[in-house]
Amino acid sequence: ARLQFSTALSDNASHLVDTTAPVVTITRAGTHVLSTVSAAHTDTLSFTFSEGIDTSTFTAADIVVSGSAGTVSGLARVGTTNVWTATFTPAGGMSGDYTVSIAAGLLKDLAGNDNAASNDVAERHGFASLSSMSINSSYEDRSGCLAR
């Protein structure tokens, strides 16, 4: 008996290839502006992906904090969804503006495509709110007139 294998594919066969980069959108839960900065003042960040990603390629090191000092920690996936959360903590005693983002090409989707760059999320810590500031509205005009 002789076995014969056929490797011919049907002319009607089609193959779908995923070449779309996964997109990540970053949001933050906190909306406050703090007048005092300490490790107790944190914001929860959410990272929502447009499709499933290779979970071994996404780490806290992929999350970039620029501006004043701060850290991102506690990166965790929310169940089996395409959402991850982490905690942003400004450096104690450091006030300033922060931007949190993920650069392109740092992680991959399940088909091996590199991610597109995320949106930038702005943080502001350590600034007094305008309602707690006082403005002195009178000053002496050096020409001799008093303005109020």
Look over the chain and give the mean of its residue pLDDT values, rounded to a whole number: 76
- What per-residue confidence (pLDDT) applies to 95? 66
- pLDDT tens figures, 111-127: 999 999 999 888 766 55
87 contacts 44 by C-beta, under 8 angstroms: yes
The ranges of the chain with pLDDT < 70 are 1-13, 30-40, 68, 92-95, 124-148
Taking the C-alpha atoms of residue 60 and residue 5, their distance in angstroms, rounded to an integer, is 50
- What per-residue confidence (pLDDT) applies to 146? 46
| Model confidence, pTM | 0.69
**Which residue's structure tokens are 């109020």?**
148
Residues 6 or more apart whose Cβ sits within 8 Å of residue 17: 111
